Structure 1
Amino acid sequence: MAAEAAGNDLVQVVVLLTAGVVAVPIFKRLGLGSILGYLGGGLLIGPFGLGFFSDSQAILHVAELGVVMFLFIIGLEMQPLRLWGLRREIFGLGILQVGLCSALLTCVGLATGFPIAVSFVAGAGFVLTSTAIVMQLLEESGDTATPKGQRMISILLLEDLAIVPLLALVAFLAPLDPNAAETAMRSRWIDVGIGLASILGLVIAGRYLLNPFFRILADSRAREVMTAAALLVVLGSALAMQLSGLSMAMGAFLAGVLLSESTFRHQLEADVEPFRGILLGLFFIAVGMSLDLSVVAANWRLVVFYVFAYMVVKAIGIYVVARILKSNHREALERAVVMAQGGEFAFVLYSSATAVGIIDGEANATLTAIIIISMVLTPLAITVLRYFTPKEEPSMEGIEVADGLTGSVLVIGFGRFGQIASQPLLLRGIDVSIIDNDVEMIQAAARFGFKVYYGDGTRLDILHAAGAGRANAVLICVDKGETAVRIAELMRHEYPLLPVLARSYDRGVSLQLINAGVDYQVRETFESALLFGQSTLVKLGVGETEAAEIIEDVRRRDHARFDEQLAGIDPVQAAGKLLKGNLPVPTPLSQPRRPGRALNEETAAVLEDAEKEPT
């Protein structure tokens, strides 16, 4: 019997993993995102799909640990000073958005005939945006560290903190037994006091106990003990808050903030990260399982109406707040769509409201279905928004277009390479003209006193306007190899006698640049990597003279192999002959000549699939 039960448990684990592994790649391929994939996979295998699971709530309770660990990692990134720097966004923007949206959604309930307590609880639950969904979307789009991403995170933090007063309000709104009103009120005040005391206790423990605790464990040199301790801190903090009637996620977040300046911060993040990713995916799968299709079918008109009404009204409230606080239309619209759904903390609020008698079990199931459907619709809404919203064009304010430039040297591309390459020219007093097509980079360069003009070096008319015909040399410093080759080809055909020097990405691009006729090319990190290797040899005790000779030998062999590739010899065979000493060493290619021939078929094959040096 025990073996049979274990076998069933293993089947369920395999089904959960299969749902995520199969559904997520399919949904991402369709452009719908990983979150919708998890939700769809959970709905398919849940009680109202194929029926592999009958108790989705049990899995949801376990999967909530994914959200807990997610917030712990967010806390690790939020040092107290950084958190203090976001205080205006958290307590200004956050309170304004939560307050306005709560009022608007409460009005929706009142307008449709529900009592004020029920309307408030339903609306306040929907105001609590899904931290897991928004953070996942920000992470996938790379906006976590951007100003607009930081504003969303600040609002999420305020909403996580808001669960404390909301739970207290739910307790105060509960109908009281007239015979025990005084006792019940006293009990509620005691609960509030316990919650505040728990937060204070966690802060004190984190401030004075956690660092010495991890220092003792680190001295034991047992990696698995450190991993267990990281999990203990996260889960222990969450449990302490839960036993106090507060949010588990808030406890984990506070623990993360308290450890954010610890010397063990990066170790803790590395230990918790694998569990966070798996459990967060499991959370979304469990949310998909929890969608009770029988409740949706029985109340479909009510569910559809409130999903639409709540999402639209909340989005309007978010947009209005964003515009009042000077966000532009695009950012306000994006924030409104991303944060228009309800969240996982609504499940906690609705459960508490059911326990104290504000709403009944059927209302709880209906409200939960409304929240889940709104979570499902969010990735679809984001996809629609991105499809219909044109790509944001950077402002050209203060940017001058290249026209009639007369510099002795024309630099095309002013990234990290072009900035360094132009410095000796500027110090020598040489008149340098610089063009680039990255508006943000041009604006950043202007703040440091560099005059960079807007222009695309792959267009012949721009090269004319930028003064290529009047320059004494052209430096191609763009970061994309194919772009560099295209510019070099244009220069060879239009200005065949003008010296052209080019930055190359790797060996393959170098071969193409030489064939395009550049006078000099250098792989962008080749020489710096050789210098790095030489310094390493010296640190290991090799004499400086011997280290320099070894590096020169590496450079000589590389030049020899490079020449053989230009001649169409297989690079692997050339390298083998060099190592055996069977290949004559040619003159180093410090100034590659302009070959008057096209690459033959063998060399073309080398460019397609020969070695790519780890430059």
Structure 2
Amino acid sequence: MAVDAASPAVAFLQPLILIGAAVIMVPVFRRLGLGSILGYLAAGIAIGPSALKLFGFGGEIMHVAELGIVMFLFLIGLELKPSRLWSLRHVIFGLGGAQILATAALGTLVGVFGFNAPWRGALIVAFGMALSSTALAMQTLEEKGEVRTDYGEKAFGILLMQDLAIVPLLALVTLLSPVEKPGGDGILLAIAEMVVAVGGIVVAGRYLLNPLFRVLASAGAREIMTAAALFVVIGAASLVALAGLSMATGAFLAGVLLAESNFRHQLEADIEPFRGLLMGLFFMSVGMTVDPNVIVDQWARVLAGVIAVVGIKVAVTYALMRATRNDHDDAIRVALLLAQGGEFGFVLYANGVAADIIKDTDASLLVAVVTLSMAVTPLLVALAPRLMKRQAEEEIQEDFTEAQGSVLMIGFGRFGQVVSQLLNAEGIDVTAIDNDPEMIRAAGRFGFKVYYGDGTRLDVLRAAGAENAKLIAITTDKSDTTNRVVDLIKSEFPLAKVYARSFDRRHTLELLGRNVDYQIRETYESAIAFGRASLEELGLSPERTAEIEDDVRRRDMTRLTLQQAEGIMAGTPILQRPTPKAPTPEPLTQPKRSPKALNRESEDLTKVVD
């Protein structure tokens, strides 16, 4: 018997049942190596109307649980500065747009000729199947720590385009519907509302949010900061939803606009607990929508549908990834990660039924197909390493039980290895972390203990002992990674001494702006030593060589100071330049006749010089 949600006496049992089902199923599935997402789906199926009947249809819960997707996209936006998002424009609009159109075209042909469906219905179904599950794919990437890998960013760009596409696709449903359609003025008004909503978020993000959080931070009430963070996320999502866009799009946009805020890490810490809980609730609500009766009665059509969806999406995505010059391994990983239908497919099909394009009975079958395609995705992702040319390395677990070094070193490449030699020579205990499994294994063969972990994650830094470290040395080899680690440490561990490896002069200025305690350009000292040795080989005395070196260092420091105040082009006249050669004398008047060689040899030489 289903629990009556309207009864106050049993209302508290609903969250208890949801939490209890998750607590039981998720650890079991993770223990089996199937991942937490399948655990949540199984928990939803178990307590839903198809099994224990403790809940009715999961649609009402899904409306609340969708806030998990909203918060997740907000956190993704916090990691993407506007400049980084702009650099992904070709992936978002090019690769993402091509994936939607190609999948829809091929899916329509399969629907019309393979399932004898009317072309209008087949087209809407195909577009719905082209939309993957942002929640599932991004959760999978996060669990594997691969959100910021090359293939992770490609997958995210495609997913973002799919989220943006829901608006024109809903308009397409209206245009194809045989029922009465709104006039042109209605469509123009809807577009105007979207522009106003997005513009409002942009203005608020640029000019209002930072002053608001500054005032709240000065009040010293932590719970108000948390409430403000939730207000920003839900408010931005609701504003764009009223204008017809997806809530996730509004939250993502708000996150991007706050990516450079001083309160970014505080917002991330406040939102994270809610995001994790609601994401799990979302997957449980998806599990509740599964109707075993439909699967049993129409198992052949459901199975054919799942195979068609997965096969078409894998083939199209892989082909497009290869066509855009991505290697086989990244192409196969993105293709298998995005092989499922998505949550926006439910929205599209519901509108298709209301518009009399899709039959109600077919909609139930489509929900089953989408849900089952989501359920098999973890298995497909686990299959990816077997299909890759370079076999994936055995997974290394994050284990910091013995990490107690007084120096925390983030990055153990060629630069960090040299630094560690000096510290080890004095017996200083160093905790080194890196996220390259092959490098960790190579270091282990030489007797070095390097812990596996991502230094851009706050939980990893805490587990590695950042709170107690006397010095944190950031020796990563990518400037944007170094900047992210510095920002995180300065925000969460403000008393720590931060020493950072700089990529180049521009990066040095960025690090100085972040108030690191020490920075050095990775090639500066070696170039100075190289130049000093060159001068000595050319016969200069050690005294003169030292004098020149001191002058170059002094000029460099003066120029850096000027550049900090005035920009990268400041201090250019301070540079040591080549001594100009004496001018070649020229005649006062141009000779009337060209010079003539006195012999053939001189004539040939003249031609060569000219």
Give TM class, smaller chain: 0.5 to 0.7
Indicate the residue corresponding to 2:41 in structure 1. 39
Identity level (%): 45
Distance verdict in 2 for CA 1:196–1:173, change over 3 Å: farther
1:119 corresponds to which of 104, 122, 125: 122
What's the offset of the Cα at 1:415?
5.7
Indicate the residue corresponding to 2:229 in structure 1. 230
Residue 58 of structure 1 pairs with residue 52 of structure 2: no
What's the offset of the Cα at 1:229?
1.2
Structure 1, unaligned stretches of length 5 or more? 395-412, 426-437, 443-453, 459-475, 482-523, 533-538, 540-615
AA of the residue aligned to 1:355: A
**What is the 5 A alignment of 1:84-99?**
84-99=86-101
Distance verdict in 2 for CA 1:83–1:414, change over 3 Å: closer
Indicate the residue corresponding to 1:508 in structure 2. none
AA of the residue aligned to 2:85: L
Indicate the residue corresponding to 1:296 in structure 2. 295
Contact 2:213–2:263, Cα closer than 8 Å, also in 1: yes
Counterpart CA distance in 2 for 1:376 and 1:260 is: 33
1:100 corresponds to which of 95, 99, 102: 102
AA of the residue aligned to 1:263: N
AA of the residue aligned to 1:85: S
AA of the residue aligned to 1:209: L
Counterpart CA distance in 2 for 1:60 and 1:393 is: 36
Counterpart CA distance in 2 for 1:258 and 1:530 is: 34
Residue 329 of structure 1 pairs with residue 299 of structure 2: no
Indicate the residue corresponding to 1:479 in structure 2. 449
**TM-score using structure 2 length:** 0.65
Counterpart CA distance in 2 for 1:421 and 1:386 is: 34
Contact 1:414–1:477, Cα closer than 8 Å, also in 2: no
What's the offset of the Cα at 1:161?
1.2
Counterpart CA distance in 2 for 1:257 and 1:76 is: 5
Write out per-residue CA displacement over residues 67-88 of structure 1, whole angstroms, 9 at most, x where no aligned residue: 1111111111111011011112
Figure out how many residues of one structure are paired with residues of the other and give that number.
426
Write out per-residue CA displacement over residues 247-275 of structure 1, whole angstroms, 9 at most, x where no aligned residue: 11111111111111122211111111110
Indicate the residue corresponding to 2:405 in structure 1. none
Distance verdict in 2 for CA 1:315–1:388, change over 3 Å: closer
1:80 corresponds to which of 72, 82, 87: 82
Residue 262 of structure 1 pairs with residue 261 of structure 2: yes
What SS class does the counterpart of residue 6 from structure 1 fall into?
Answer: coil
Contact 2:444–2:450, Cα closer than 8 Å, also in 1: no
Contact 1:176–1:184, Cα closer than 8 Å, also in 2: no
Distance verdict in 2 for CA 1:10–1:439, change over 3 Å: closer
Counterpart CA distance in 2 for 1:254 and 1:3 is: 35
**What is the 5 A alignment of 1:354-369?**
354-369=353-368
Distance verdict in 2 for CA 1:356–1:391, change over 3 Å: same
Contact 2:328–2:388, Cα closer than 8 Å, also in 1: no
Counterpart CA distance in 2 for 1:171 and 1:209 is: 37
What's the offset of the Cα at 1:304?
1.5
Distance verdict in 2 for CA 1:457–1:189, change over 3 Å: closer
What's the offset of the Cα at 1:367?
1.4
AA of the residue aligned to 1:330: D
Counterpart CA distance in 1 for 2:192 and 2:439 is: 53
Indicate the residue corresponding to 2:197 in structure 1. 198
Counterpart CA distance in 2 for 1:13 and 1:23 is: 15
Indicate the residue corresponding to 1:273 in structure 2. 272
Contact 1:303–1:369, Cα closer than 8 Å, also in 2: yes
Indicate the residue corresponding to 2:156 in structure 1. 153
Residue 110 of structure 1 pairs with residue 112 of structure 2: yes
**What is the 5 A alignment of 1:436-585?**
478-479=448-449
What SS class does the counterpart of residue 5 from structure 1 fall into?
Answer: coil
Residue 9 of structure 1 pairs with residue 8 of structure 2: no
Counterpart CA distance in 2 for 1:116 and 1:530 is: 68
Contact 1:195–1:245, Cα closer than 8 Å, also in 2: yes
AA of the residue aligned to 1:86: L
What SS class does the counterpart of residue 64 from structure 2 fall into?
Answer: helix
AA of the residue aligned to 2:41: L
Counterpart CA distance in 1 for 2:135 and 2:345 is: 13
Counterpart CA distance in 2 for 1:328 and 1:307 is: 27
1:28 corresponds to which of 16, 27, 30: 30
**TM-score using structure 1 length:** 0.64
Counterpart CA distance in 1 for 2:305 and 2:444 is: 54
AA of the residue aligned to 1:122: V
What's the offset of the Cα at 1:118?
0.9
Write out per-residue CA displacement over residues 266-323 of structure 1, whole angstroms, 9 at most, x where no aligned residue: 1111111110000000000110011122232333222211111111011100110011
- Residue range with higher mean Cα deviation, 365-374 or 290-299: 290-299
Indicate the residue corresponding to 2:317 in structure 1. 318
Contact 1:414–1:478, Cα closer than 8 Å, also in 2: no
Counterpart CA distance in 2 for 1:114 and 1:312 is: 19
Contact 2:179–2:355, Cα closer than 8 Å, also in 1: no
Contact 1:93–1:321, Cα closer than 8 Å, also in 2: yes
Indicate the residue corresponding to 1:602 in structure 2. none
Write out per-residue CA displacement over residues 532-577 of structure 1, whole angstroms, 9 at most, x where no aligned residue: 9xxxxxx9xxxxxxxxxxxxxxxxxxxxxxxxxxxxxxxxxxxxxx
Distance verdict in 2 for CA 1:189–1:4, change over 3 Å: closer
Indicate the residue corresponding to 1:71 in structure 2. 73
**What is the 5 A alignment of 1:403-414?**
none
AA of the residue aligned to 1:51: K
Indicate the residue corresponding to 1:142 in structure 2. 145
What's the offset of the Cα at 1:381?
2.0
Contact 2:151–2:333, Cα closer than 8 Å, also in 1: no
Counterpart CA distance in 2 for 1:14 and 1:133 is: 24
AA of the residue aligned to 1:479: K
What's the offset of the Cα at 1:152?
0.9
Distance verdict in 2 for CA 1:388–1:235, change over 3 Å: same
Counterpart CA distance in 2 for 1:439 and 1:20 is: 32
Residue 219 of structure 1 pairs with residue 222 of structure 2: no
What SS class does the counterpart of residue 9 from structure 1 fall into?
Answer: coil
Contact 2:332–2:387, Cα closer than 8 Å, also in 1: no
Contact 1:104–1:314, Cα closer than 8 Å, also in 2: no
What SS class does the counterpart of residue 11 from structure 2 fall into?
Answer: helix
Counterpart CA distance in 1 for 2:437 and 2:26 is: 36
2:166 corresponds to which of 163, 168, 172: 163
Residue 242 of structure 1 pairs with residue 241 of structure 2: yes
Q: CA RMSD in A?
A: 3.1
